[in-house]
Structures are given as structure tokens and as C-alpha cells.
A and B are shown apart, each in its own frame.
Chain A
């Protein structure tokens, strides 16, 4: 045992291993546990899974699927989840459509220009996320700059209410998550050999066909990585709807937040989080598979 503890490799593996088990895996297990417990008045506001009967001293197991039954029976929760999914889907798609050509052209620029463009892409990424969302709040105000421009050109006469609706949320999400789409795409496209395009042209393929039959399939792993990096976090996004959204749509992140901080119903908040993980497990698995494939290729 002592020889194992002196082993360098042992510490290399097990220090992060234990840390992640303690502070990532066990907390998830606790959410799981609380999502199955019975809510009650007090602190903590739920009954422990295992209690002893005060009279007989016997163990009592307090497990309920009621929290799950509750959130799945109430359309309010399901609707918020669907809202988040549709937000994530729409904004991922828009990010892909905007991000792909940018990533492609940056990757295909001359090395010197490429470095400059890449840094220009990364600068907003390193700027505070919160401040970037806030910037749109400023822009979209009733007396904000966008309305001013539109009115000056006579396109509108009255200021539009651009803020506090789900379009503003989509805009905010696309804006803040665009780098997450562009960077993995760039990573693939920069390694992409331009001779493939020449070969496809040589074999008589037209531009459109070249794109769909050669470039797109070869950059597919980058597309998957980029889409997952946008889609999954956006499903749980809280800040952007809070700052830019209105009362027209409620989102998943906000619901968990409210359930926990406002209603103080920990079991329901946990059940929501757990079901969120369950719904996200498929995209997460896709992400991990494509990610590990990519790394194997590098070896």
C-alpha cells in the first residue's frame, strides 16, 4: 500500500478522480436522492429518505415518485421544457448557419490574416458573458440605438418593443454562443485539405455538390461538436431569458431557479434538474462519442 501511495502515477490519476467524484458525481447523486424525497416544511425542506420511527424505532423508507409525477402531469413544466428545447434548437441552427461560413473563410485565409481574424473572433469570447448580454439590453431598449436608426430612416414611426420577447432571447443566445459554434468548426476546417475540393472539382462536381458531398461530410465531427456545445448549455440557460426575455415564454432554467429560490421546493427543483439531465443524456452521449473519436484519431 505504501509503495502505491509513493507512486507518481497513482496521485496523477486519483487526485482529480477523487475530486470529481466528490464534487461532481456525489452532488448529482444527492440531487437524485432529493428528487425522490418527500417535501416538508422545515430546514432542509424535505424528509430524509431513511428515518427512524419515533415510537417503534424501526427504519422507515420515504421514497416517492410524486415529484416526477407532479412535474410531468403539470403542463406548465413540460411547456417550459419544450420552450427551452425550441430555443436551443432554433439558436443552434442559426449559429450553425452564421458560424459555418465564417469558420470556413477564416480557416481558408492566408496564415497571417487567419491569425488576426481568429483573435478578432476570440476577443468577444473572452469579454464578460454577462456584459455581452447586457449590451443587447441596451441596444434593444425602446429608446435604444436600433429603434433610433430605424426611425431615422423612416422605416418605423413608433419605437418597436424589441426587448422582453423570445426573439430577443434567441438573438442574445446566438450572439453569446456563436464562438462556441465557430471555434470547433474552425478546428476541423483548418485541418481540411483544400486538395479535396480540387479533387472533387476535377471529378466533375459542381460547387454546390462539392459542398454537400465533400466539405460538409468531412467537417461533420466539427459540426456535431459545435452544435452540442451550443444546444446543451442553452437548454439550461438562465441569464439570457432573465435579462432579455419577457413574460411570453418561461424557460427551463428559470423554472428550476424559481422552484428552488422562490417556492423553496427542493424535491421538485431536483426532480426538474434530474429530468433535465435525462433528456440531455442523448445529446451528451453523442457529444462524448464524437469527442472521443476525434481524440482517437489524433493518436
Chain B
């Protein structure tokens, strides 16, 4: 058997496996029938239903709000943590700091969620803060586990750059604060952007931690979707998947065209 033939077969199967379920969902989102798997003809009915469903729209709005605020704070903290890990050697209890800033990467969500919930309850008992569970507690939780992801991205980027570019800036007369603003930050900017995007998706995607830490008025999109699909299928969720897929594919194509042009220059 030909080697490149084997390669295409393998890649073909791999990508088919990745995309088959998603495409099925998209196709069935145009199904007229209320019973998801019985095809009754093409219709945009479920998209209309989706955009009329106040519960989903409300949850979507809350999710986007929490995700963007959480991503912003997580990026801020993650940049600081990543910079400290990569560039500052004198940190008290350094290995403890390394532990708490990388362990959330692999800590099972259910344990993180449980610990944060118990923390909020204890804090409420002791200090009366937070006064109730809700958007704020979900936000704090999302920031906490996203920080580790951003920190790792920033640290990797900083480690791949020789420290000498920062020294060069100093040598050329830049004071330490100016070095950070004019050299370090611009150099890691692409990683800051991808860190923000990752933190945003992590927050938008999270069900388990949000379920633990949520309260009245803070039902995020995953919580609503989960309650809809836990027991059975929902044609509206199919339509929702198609919409999300469309947004992501658009972004991905845009990104691809941008990077492809860049490759052509090289």
C-alpha cells in the first residue's frame, strides 16, 4: 500500500469523525418536524423559535457578559502570573506559586466547582460576602480557572524569547517600566489575544463550575442548554449549534485567509 494513500485515509477518517456529528446537527436543524430524527422537509422554523425563546436569549446575553468580563480579568491576571513565572526568579514560595498557577489546568471541574461553592458559602457565613450566589460568583470562578490557561500561554511565549531583547531595550536607554510597555507587551501581544480568546471560550463553554456557583438570575447558556437536552432532544438546540458553528467557521476562515497571506509574503 502506498504511504501517502495511507496518510489520506487516516486524515480522512480522523476529520470525518470530528465533523460528522456537527454536520448532522446542522442538517437536522432545518428539519420541519418536532421529532428531531424524523425528516419532514426543509424549514427555518426552529431558527425562528430560537430567536423567540426568551430563556435562551437571556442566558446567551448573561453568558457573553460573564465570558467577556471574565476573559478580560483572567488575561490581566494571567499576563502577570505568566510574566512572574517566566521572568522573576525571587518569588516567596516559588514552587507553591507554580503549583497554584498550573494546577487549575488539570483539576477536574467538579472538584473546582465544589470547592468554590463551599468557599462562597463559608465566606458568606463568616463575612456576609458574597451576599448571594449569582453572576458575581460565577464570574469569580471563571476568572480563577482561566488565569492558569492564560498564564501558561504567556509563559510559553516569554520563554521562547531570549531575555536579551528586554536587556537590549534597557541598554538602549529604556527605563524598566518603559521596557515592559514598549518591548515585552508588544512582543507577547499575539499570545495575550489568544489567551483572551481561550479564556472567553472556556467561560462560555463551562457547565459544571457554573452549575455549582450559580444562583438566581445567573443561568448561563450551558446551564439552560443542559437542562433542555438532559432528558431528550431539542430542535431549538440544533438550530443553536448551527448558529454557533457558523460564527466559529466565519472567524476561522477569516483567520486562515489572514495567515495564508502572511505565509505568501514569506
**Chain A interface (Cβ within 8 Å of chain B)?**
8-9, 11-13, 15-17, 19-21, 23-28, 30-31, 34, 44, 98, 101-102, 105-106, 111-112, 115-117, 119-124, 126-132, 134-139, 141, 143-145, 175, 178, 228-229, 232-233, 235-239, 242-243, 252-253, 256-257, 260, 266, 269-270, 273, 276-277, 280, 283-284, 287-288, 291-292, 295, 298-299
Name which residue of chain B comes closest to A84, CB basis.
B108
Residues of B within 8 A of A178 (CB): 17-18
* Most B-side CB within 10 Å, residue of A12, A16, A138, A239: A16
Residues of A within 8 A of B135 (CB): none
B219 close to A (CB within 8 Å): no
Query: Which residues of the partner chain A approach B5 to less than 8 Å between Cβ atoms?
Result: none
Q: Is the CB of B229 within 8 A of A134?
A: yes
Tell me if A135 and B80 are in contact (CB < 8 A).
no
**Chain B contacts of A25 at CB under 8 A?**
100
Contact yes or no, A23 B140, CB < 8 A: yes
Neighbour of B144 across the interface among A23, A31, A175, CB < 8 A: A23
Count chain B CB atoms within 10 A of each CB in A44, A139, A236, A280 and give the residue with the most.
A236
A15 to B98, CA, bound (A): 14
Query: B102-143: which have CB < 8 Å to A?
Result: 102-112, 114-116, 118-119, 121-122, 125, 140-141, 143
Tell me how many residues of B have a C-beta within 8 Å of chain A: 88
Any A CB within 8 A of the CB of B52: no
B37–A138 CB distance below 8 A: yes
On whether the beta carbons of A115 and B259 are closer than 8 Å, the reply is: yes
> A128 — which chain B residues lie within 8 A by C-beta?
204-205, 222, 225, 241, 244
| Chain B: CB-nearest residue to A283 | B106
Nearest to B114 among chain A residues (CB) is: A273
Chain B's interface: helix, strand, loop or mixed, by majority? helix
**Bound-complex Cα distance A297 to B97 (A):** 20
Cα–Cα, bound, A123→B229 (Å): 23
Main secondary structure of the interface of A (DSSP, over half): helix
In the assembled complex, B159 has its CB within 8 A of some CB on chain A: yes
Expressed in whole angstroms, the Cα–Cα distance for A112 and B264 within the complex equals 9
Can you name the residue of chain A whose Cβ is closest to the Cβ of B145?
A24
- Which of B101, B121, B141, B176 lies in contact with A20, CB distance below 8 A? B101
- Least CB distance from A7 to B in Å reads 10
Asked whether any CB of chain A lies closer than 8 Å to the CB of B2, the reply is: no
Instruction: Report if A126-B141 is in contact (Cβ < 8 Å); known contacts: A102-B14, A131-B237, A238-B109.
Output: no
Q: Is the CB of B241 within 8 A of A24?
A: no
Q: Is the CB of B110 within 8 A of A236?
A: yes
Nearest B residue to A242, CB-CB: B230
B240 engages A131 (CB within 8 Å): yes
CB of B91 within 8 A of chain A? yes
Q: Which residues of B contact A138 (CB under 8 A)?
A: 21, 24-25, 28, 36-37, 233, 238
